Amino acid sequence: MKYNNIIAKMTLEEKASFMSGKDFWQTQDIERLGINSIFLADGPHGIRKQAIAADKIGLNEGVPATCYPTAATVANSWNLELGEKVGEYLGEEAIAQNVNVLLGPGINMKRNPLNGRNFEYFSEDPYLAGKMAASYIRGIQSFDIAACVKHFAVNNQEEKRMTIDAVVDERTLREMYLTAFEIAIKEGNSKAIMTSYNKLNGTYTNENVHLLQDILRNEWGFQGSVITDWGGSNDRVSGLLAGNELEMPTTAGETDAEIVEAINTGRLDESVLDEAVDRLLHLVFTTQKANQTNSAKFDIEKHHRVSQKVAEESTVLLKNEDNILPLKFGKKVAVIGDFAKDARYQGAGSSLVNPTILDHTMNCFEESGIISIGYEPGFERYGKKNQRMIDKACELAKQADVVLLYVGLDEVTEAEGLDRNNMKIPDNQIDLLYALHEVNPHIVGIISCGSAVEMPWVDKVQGLLHGYLGGQAGARAILRILSGDVNPSGKLAESYPLKYEDTPSYHHFPGNEATVEYRESLYIGYRYYDTAKIDVQFPFGYGLSYTNFTYSKIRVDKRGVTFHITNSGDKAGMEIAQLYIGCQSDKIYRSSKELKGFIKVFINAGETKTVRIPFDDKTFRYFNVKTNTWEVEEAEYKIMIGASSADIRLESELFVEGTDAPLPYNKEQLPSYFSGKVQQVSLAEFEQLLGKSVPEANWDRSKPLGYNDMIAQTQYAKGAFGRLVYHSIVFAHWFLQKIGKRSTANLMKMSIFNMPMRGIARMTAGIVNMPMVDGFLMMVNGNLFKGALHVLKEKIKQKKRK
């Protein structure tokens, strides 16, 4: 241990208190030993340090900070240097706000396009997500503060996220859901990691020894600190035994007492606590140096320009029929769509940034050189139909050479704590598109949203740009691409299915009441569509340019692949070349191709560049469930270089020697997995893959409600009070939506409806303690007066202790 001399001077009570927050955002300080508090703040794409005191609970407005494009956006750049630059600027702003730990990046897989938080995650592919995350972390930590990569692990939905049990086989866990974290830890050297709320195969991730000890610490060699998600601690002592150092936020000493009691009764050895204290002290002392050695100011305008550069390189050109883009000089455009006036530039929830500057499309036209003849909103932002607005927009469109139509998803559709209801853009926007097409077919669509959407209307637009959520300078970035000042170079980091029903997890998202079954195994995103031969709207890795690139002269050796790219067009541009491998053996089930490398290169018009993508330790490996380790299958491997997963330009083969491991599967018992057609996997076949029975998927309504039951489950409560609580919440949610308070309604659903009962204590910073929760449970379970009296007595006791 590094800090034996300090730990030896700490009392048992001080060590226990150090394991929980001082308040909502700070760690505990111990003045007599020179241990100061450090500050943790949200910040995957901008610092959200709340402007009010750190002891105030809730998602409060942050101090102004640069709102960079979200992770889902930057992933489309496929540019690790750009990711590191974003990280550096985030780190610089964290220093300016005296933030020691930045809670990000988020790297959960996009298992399903309806996850309401997909805007905050990089990709459906673990290799791309891991590499991007590592680049962010290197940039953030170059300022001596800590990144905290999240949410570890298998947190792939927002619905019931604090109670759901993710049921997933070990190979899928390792290859699909942990690989990005492995890269973030090993290559990014993240100083901290945040556990997720959910259970993994029956155990809360924060108490999961296999996850936190066997894999994170023993296999990956992680030496940093494990931090709970806010209110994500179930059993504090079990968490400590598994390897969790810091519980956030404070519980006002309640869980400190549990740690002390566990040591006094022998449940917990004090040496385990000492090791946890040592690791957390290291985080405190090393990140405190940042505030002493770095500047306390940042250049607001410079950071805004960087945000614009990132947005420009991350925007994806999806369609460009008849080369409608870039807009020809002198073309008159009609600007239509509410998102043009009020930009949709970030997601909602804990990552909500208060921007330093905010560009809007209508304010940026003069410098763009594009001639606008006027603007009409065309639709109501939150979905209400309005024929008068459509008619006015059509009248304007008739006068234009080209219509710029800004459509997308509103702020409350994509939000933390909620999953989307469907993959559609609202009907009122599509009605507008069809009406505009009748009067002027020269339409360029600009989409603002952080995730995949269905596009059955795509034939009604000549051009289509997807800006995702481009941050505070995203509106200006889009105009620079439309005008031709910037050649688009983004490519999709996720697949766009033709319809939601085509997705591999369609039948198993967001799961049932108690569990979500990952029956599709490895086959998420392009791994499924390519293997099962399902057509998509736009494939993974797809994106157009204003120039053309040709590939030639592939050469493969044991250490990598070399090839040529020629810019055969008349404009300089950047191309993203992607390396996929496909094992030619059928002894172990695998997807037809897997991303194993990529590179982004700038090439002038007419120029040819020689490009090399090296192999690494992840190129040919698979996880063998019999040997419980990574192995290499001896086989011929197809080496593919593509402009997307569906556009393979060059192919070769390479024989790779294997590790001679036993075959992990009986092919006859897993026909769906060997065919890749996994949408309708039977329970029996899934259990064969798991090697055990699948747990009960529904809540047990025969038992009284307990600590880990959701507040939403009060609808089944035995006591009338419990059912009244449920219906009151439902009514309040409906009423808030009805009067236009959609964000507040969403916050209610996120922070109350889906919260487990223990969260009432864990998330209120000590205002409510667990004995009070006991009283509340008595009330909802049918003992109204006894429970109310119990709550009152405990509240009186709490006041006396203060």
Which positions are catalytic? Answer: 229
Asked if 155 and 198 touch (Cβ cutoff 8 Å), the reply is yes
End-to-end C-alpha distance for the chain, whole angstroms: 36
b (16+ CB within 10 A) / e for 590-625: bbbbbbbbbbbeebeeeeebebebebeebbbbbbbb
**Cβ partners under 8 Å of residue 377, min gap 6:** 336, 337, 338, 341, 389, 393
Instruction: Tell the residue number behind the tokens 């909802």, with chain if given.
Output: 780
Given the DSSP bridges, would you call strands 146-152 and 192-195 parallel, antiparallel or unpaired? parallel
Q: What's the CA gap between 391 and 397, in Å, rounded?
A: 10
Written as one string, the DSSP assignment of 586-609 is -SS---S-EEEEEEEEEE-TT-EE
| Closest listed residue to residue 297, CA positions, set 339, 356, 350 | 356
Beta carbons within 10 angstroms of residue 28's beta carbon: 22
Asked if 298 and 96 touch (Cβ cutoff 8 Å), the reply is yes
Beta carbons within 10 angstroms of residue 790's beta carbon: 19
Beta carbons within 10 angstroms of residue 257's beta carbon: 14
Q: What's the CA gap between 5 and 177, in Å, rounded?
A: 39
Beta carbons within 10 angstroms of residue 786's beta carbon: 12
Q: What's the CA gap between 259 and 281, in Å, rounded?
A: 18
CA distances from 522 to 142, 244, 527, 675, 745 (A): 35, 29, 7, 12, 36
Q: DSSP 3-state assignment of 415?
A: strand
One-letter amino acid for residue 125 of the chain: D
